Amino acid sequence: MNTFGNFWNQIRDNFTAMPLQSRMIAGMLVAVIVVGVGLLLKSESSEAKQYLFGGRLLTDEDIRKAEIAFGNAELRDYEFVGSRIAVPGETRDVYLRALSDGNAIPLEEAAATQDALYNSSPFASNNLLEKRIMKGKEIDLSGRIMQFPEVRKASVFYDSQRQGFASKPKQSASIVIVPHGNDPLSPYTKKEIADLVRAAFAGMEASDVTVTDTNARAATEDPWIDENNPHYRTKRHYERAWETKIRHALAGYGAPRVVVDVELDPTMDSESTELKYDSNPATLKEQSSSRSVESTRPQSGGVPGVASNAYGNQAARVEELADRNKETETSEQTEKVVGTTHTQTKLAGLRPIRASVVISLRGSYYDELWKSSWLAENPDKESDDVPPLSAADRERLRTSTKEEITSAVTTIIPRLRAGDDRSPLVTVIDYPDLASPTELIPETTSRATAWLASSWQSIALVLLALVALLVARSALKAPPARPTADFADGFGLEIPQLPEDELALHDEQPVAGSTAPSLEVTGTNLRDELNSIVESNPDAAANVLRSWLSDAA
């Protein structure tokens, strides 16, 4: 008890002997130490809960498995902080054992395949080992697919069959995807998933992979809204192409909103053939032949009649009469062909026949246009001198802007044909500038907020230490306090005046320009004053002490 009392008295004496500024600094440092110890104790008590797996972000499937495992083990003192699991630090091993027993520990990439490969029995057959490896690969691929931002849950099923004596087996893979929300997967994501699974199995073709989207049926009730529908695909192609062209053409109008609707000819394919015959046939071959036949046959017997036979010695003709026959045969053959014109026309199907465009401009665009045009007309004026836009001027600017936009867009979209609907194809509207909704906090910000919430005690301790250092620095740089009027005479103590010869130093000669040391009454701490005198002239201090001792004797 005496030891403690002596220690306390020594501390009290030292504290009372300190200057006022030193007392303030010592008190603030003691306060900082006390507050820091309290914060450390509080942080230790608040850190009773720890994050499993080093605070790793878990998937929805991992969280579901963990909940089931904790429920089976009847563990209730856990908390889900975002996608992390916080458990009491003293029972952390119990929760890990529950996850292990429930097979709910999150697997790393290729962990299932490695487990099937390295933890298999040496007596297992090659067929069984291959099946285990394929099953592990299915689990690993499912985990890889679940890393896509649109996918909430994924399952991969693989099968192979060897047909006959073929060296290459027939392979197939089926993928079932459960997306987030009610929206179906985009075609690009489905293609990426199919390519990932196809590349994971050697020799698999793209046709052997099937991707099933559980939200596809709800999104494709309308048969026209289907990426595999050629009509819908062509319609979207033309709408995107014209929307891009219109945006580029209207880039100077303050980034307007553009919506394009295209109407297609429903004919998938058109082919026509036309055959015409010429009125004048063309001669290919002409052939003619002529044959003439003449024949003469003499008469046989006498002269016909009674007179020639009744009288003798009558004159007779020497030339005998004969029969003559003459025939002429002419043959002509001509080959001609009729000229024909064969025309075949094939038109591309699903051609755009009509396109309507809706363009929305910001309401503040007219204010900016008015300000820009007014400053261009008055170059010697400043922006503050622009008069407010009146209703008449706004309507005039709106009308001229609509005419300019309509004229520019009409040259891009298809023109009307005879008999088409004459309703306006280009509609220009303006919308008021409303405040944009509050943006979602990104994940980085949420992580930083969580870290600040768990580490604010340490940050506060560091800030207190910095404040203490700043106070000490300012105290050291502060000028010494002036003595008060009550203690200007040396705290009321009488300082003995010694003869001049006793205080003089016989072995030292005074230096020109220097003054002999003297005891000044400053009103400050006497101990500090004596220390400074002894350090400056120890011989004079010894003489003073010698005189005091002699007087006391």
CB 36 within 8 A of CB 464: yes
Give the model confidence (pLDDT) of 490-513 as tens digits: 444 455 554 554 444 444 455 454
Rg of the chain (C-alpha set): 58
Element (H, E) at 156: strand 151-161
pLDDT score of 123 more than 70: no
pLDDT score of 340 more than 50: yes
Judged by DSSP in three states, 369 sits in: helix
Closest by CA to 342, choosing from 418, 410, 277, is: 277
Lowest mean pLDDT among 43-57, 88-102, 133-147, 503-517: 503-517
DSSP string, 303-351: -SSSHHHHSSS----SSPPEEEEEEEEEEEEEEEE--EEEEEEEEESS-
Q: What is the mean pLDDT of residues 130-155?
A: 82
- The 3-class secondary structure across 38-75, one letter per residue, is HHHHHHHHHCCEEEHHHHCCCCHHHHHHHHHHHHHCCC
d(CA 1, CA 9): 12
Q: Which residue has the higher pLDDT, 370 or 222?
A: 370
Which residues on adjacent β-strands are paired with residue 155? 176
* Complete edge-to-edge strand list for the sheet that includes strand 209-213: 151-161, 170-179, 209-213
Pairs from 222-227 (Cβ < 8 Å, separation ≥ 24):
227/187
Q: What is the mean pLDDT of residues 18-44?
A: 73
The tokens describing 350, both together, are: 């699903």
State the Cα torsion 272-273-276-281 to the nearest 10°.
Answer: 170
d(CA 52, CA 380): 69
DSSP state of 1: -
Closest by CA to 253, choosing from 429, 494, 101, is: 429
Q: Which residue has the higher pLDDT, 95 or 523?
A: 95
For residue 442, what are the contacts with CB-CB under 8 A and spacing of at least 6? none
Q: CA 399: distance to chain centroid?
A: 39
153 burial level (CB within 10 Å; 0-12, 13-18, 19+)? middle
Mean pLDDT (the chain) is: 75
Q: What is the mean pLDDT of residues 39-48?
A: 58
Judged by DSSP in three states, 27 sits in: helix
